[in-house]
Structure 1
Amino acid sequence: MAASRLCQRTLSAFKPSNRLWAPVSLRCTPSQVTQQHAPRVPSCFSLTTQNLDAFSSRPVARAKLLLNGILEESKRPDIIFLQEVTSDVRTSILGNPKVREAFLVTDAEDKTSFEGVPFANMTLLSSKRFALDLELLESQKEEGEVERGDNFVLGPVSRVKLPSKYGRCALSVDIIPPSTPTTAYRLINVHLDSLGDTFPYRTEQMEILADLLREPGCSGGLIAGDFNAISPEDHALLDKNGLVDAWVVLHGGEGLDGATWGVGVERDDGLTAGRLDKVAVLGVEAKEMEVLRPRLIEVPKPGKDSDYIPCSDHYGLRLSFSV
């Protein structure tokens, strides 16, 4: 990645002994991972991506309800991408007992990513699927190798500054399969620029993101989150950049079955329901995908009956894929 655009971040794990989040010092590259000699079948992972809607009433309560819904599913995802995370919502996420117990989290080390912007994105990775034994890791670092059975090894975590009207960044995490240690797959959490006048920014952003999946040592991966795809030209950007739209390949591109924003809402600006949220893949196989309808939350009104609003103005997406 271009150094001028790159801000190195880390993943953190919650330590019950001192009740603090501690950065996990993983600076692995594909060449440092020892190959496993047994043949490997493709590994399957599940991803949920959700825009939390930073600006509606009760943002912390809504985010908590959305996240608990994701975590309470019988098939808890291995990877969670969140967009429009405010500083207060970040604090709530880091205090969630289920998150503390089962996930590694980006941006727990400090609030740098939340300075000067109304919100940022965060990524959560299952500690069961991606964690390394830190003591084992340290002992093997001295020998110049890292080994961890079937678990994917975690590589660099980065924020990539994008050309943007709104200060948007892409949040990238590399994962390295033990069966093919000379390469990595990249998981990129995005929130592209909003509204119609920023289409030129989104065009450039997609070119940069597609290039990140083709860098030397990277065999592809996925880009997921809020693409703000509000026009036919937006929907053409994936094909233009050689990326596969997971929803289209699994469900086709006709109709609004995959709409994630503006569903059942009449707007004064003329925008209608659309598939603003997407998952784009390269070098991995999309298996199953569905739209997640947000729960409702009560918004009390003094002297009146309470309103009930969706926890987000975006529907979420759940994807299973194989590497």
Structure 2
Amino acid sequence: MVANRLSRTLSAFNHSTRTWAPIPLGNAQSQVRQRLSLTSRNLDTWTQKLSLTSWNIDAFSSRPVSRAKHILSHILDGSKSSDIIFLQEVTSDVWASLLDDARVRAAFLATDAKDQTLFEDVPFATMMLLSSGCFASGLDFQKEGDGIEGGGKLLGYVSRMTLPSKYRRDALYVDIIPPTASGTVFRLINVHLDSLGDTLHYRAQQMEILANVLREPRCSGGIIAGDFNAISPEDDGLVDKNELVDAWVALHGTDPDGATWGVGVERRDGLGPGRLDKVAMMGLKVEEMEVLRPGSIEVPRPGDKSVEVPWSDHCGLRCTFTI
């Protein structure tokens, strides 16, 4: 199977010019060699614990910008921080609002911050935020006196991979370059697989392609996280079929509290709660994982009435893992 890839950039907020500036990302292998040459220390092993939060923020319910702000606050203001944030169903208005948020500008690198082409012919897209305190850009390590002592993991290529899809879905991923292994990367892949029951064959193809991305030369594994739209028993078998580790199952087994969709609501179609959102791993160790329940906001209705609307029809997932 072949999927086209579009090279993207990460962007950091430039406070002096008040704009999101793209970070030039060069060849990953040469960057690692240069980074290693900046230190005389020979580190044989390197481990790092990271925290990822993934959330489908629901593009179609009322007041998407307000709901997205509540979700972001819940992620950022909680007792547990997140080094990596995956978002799905991000509309163009929500995208602009998140990039304008002072907390995001101050502390995160963002994908596609200067390029709205990701919304061409689609109602929403995926987005990734990476802690600038945790991850170093191609420019950061060039400015440091010691590439390992002074900075975080180096970020390599950022790509959107087009997938076989009824709904024009893609996979957004970025490479993390460990400071001690020349030519080795770990991949973070943010996904929103095809929706509904008639697209199972697409989801099966998508999962096979994504698992193979983690097995490409010089890739030592990584994470696939997001909305897997796992609505059937056949979907639940796709992670195992592709020899990946389902992080929730690894820690909690088949605990029903792992449901991320349809939680606490009664649906007209009769569908019950489901674990539609997942974190799948290769070559990493899962440490902790929890489901983040959405709160609600008031939405005005005609006649001086209002209704409570959840931040999203999905719950979020927070996962801590070790590379």
Please confirm whether the aligned pair reaches a TM-score higher than 0.5, indicating the same fold: yes
Corresponding residue for residue 115 of structure 2: 110
Letter in 2 for 1:261: W
Q: Does 1:88 align with 2:93?
A: yes
CA RMSD of aligned residues (A): 1.9
Match among 65, 83, 99 for residue 78 of structure 1 = 83
Farther-moved stretch of structure 1 (115-124 vs 263-272): 263-272
Q: Which runs of 5+ in 1 are unaligned?
A: 141-145
Corresponding residue for residue 65 of structure 1: 70
Letter in 2 for 1:203: A
Change (3 A) 1:133 1:31: closer
* Offset of residue 69 of structure 1: 1.3
Alignment of 1:227-306 (within 5 A): 227-254=228-255, 256-306=256-306
- Could you tell me whether the CA contact under 8 Å between 2:24 and 2:138 is conserved in 1? no
* Offset of residue 31 of structure 1: 4.6
Distance 2:55 2:140 in 1: 34
Distance 1:103 1:286 in 2: 23
Distance 1:138 1:71 in 2: 28
- Could you tell me whether the CA contact under 8 Å between 1:84 and 1:119 is conserved in 2? yes
Corresponding residue for residue 168 of structure 1: 169
Corresponding residue for residue 20 of structure 1: 19
Total equivalences in the alignment: 316
Aligned to 1:170, the other structure's residue is in SS state: strand
Residue deviations 1:55-96 (CA, integer Å, cap 9, x gap): 000011111111111111232200000000000000001000
Farther-moved stretch of structure 1 (175-184 vs 24-33): 24-33
Farther-moved stretch of structure 1 (150-159 vs 243-252): 150-159
Q: Does 1:50 align with 2:55?
A: yes
Letter in 2 for 1:295: G
Farther-moved stretch of structure 1 (298-307 vs 106-115): 298-307
Corresponding residue for residue 199 of structure 2: 198
Distance 2:307 2:14 in 1: 40
- Could you tell me whether the CA contact under 8 Å between 2:159 and 2:172 is conserved in 1? yes
Aligned to 1:257, the other structure's residue is in SS state: helix
Farther-moved stretch of structure 1 (194-203 vs 64-73): 64-73
Letter in 2 for 1:114: F
Corresponding residue for residue 143 of structure 1: none
Distance 1:21 1:79 in 2: 18
Aligned to 2:195, the other structure's residue is in SS state: coil
Aligned to 1:128, the other structure's residue is in SS state: coil
Distance 2:140 2:285 in 1: 34
* Offset of residue 110 of structure 1: 1.1
Using the size of structure 2 for normalisation, the TM-score is 0.93
Corresponding residue for residue 130 of structure 1: 135
- Could you tell me whether the CA contact under 8 Å between 1:222 and 1:280 is conserved in 2? yes
* Offset of residue 30 of structure 1: 3.2
Counting aligned pairs with the same residue, the percent is 61
Distance 2:236 2:29 in 1: 33
Distance 2:117 2:206 in 1: 22
Aligned to 2:258, the other structure's residue is in SS state: coil
Farther-moved stretch of structure 1 (129-138 vs 36-45): 129-138
Distance 2:140 2:200 in 1: 47
Distance 2:140 2:311 in 1: 41
* Offset of residue 315 of structure 1: 0.1
Distance 1:157 1:90 in 2: 18
Residue deviations 1:157-212 (CA, integer Å, cap 9, x gap): 00000000000000010001102232000000000000000000000000000000
Change (3 A) 1:8 1:211: same
- Could you tell me whether the CA contact under 8 Å between 2:107 and 2:133 is conserved in 1? yes
Farther-moved stretch of structure 1 (214-223 vs 70-79): 70-79
* Offset of residue 306 of structure 1: 1.5
* Offset of residue 136 of structure 1: 4.9
* Offset of residue 135 of structure 1: 6.3
Change (3 A) 1:291 1:44: same
* Offset of residue 11 of structure 1: 0.3
Distance 2:298 2:226 in 1: 26
Distance 2:87 2:101 in 1: 15
Corresponding residue for residue 321 of structure 2: 321
* Offset of residue 37 of structure 1: 1.1
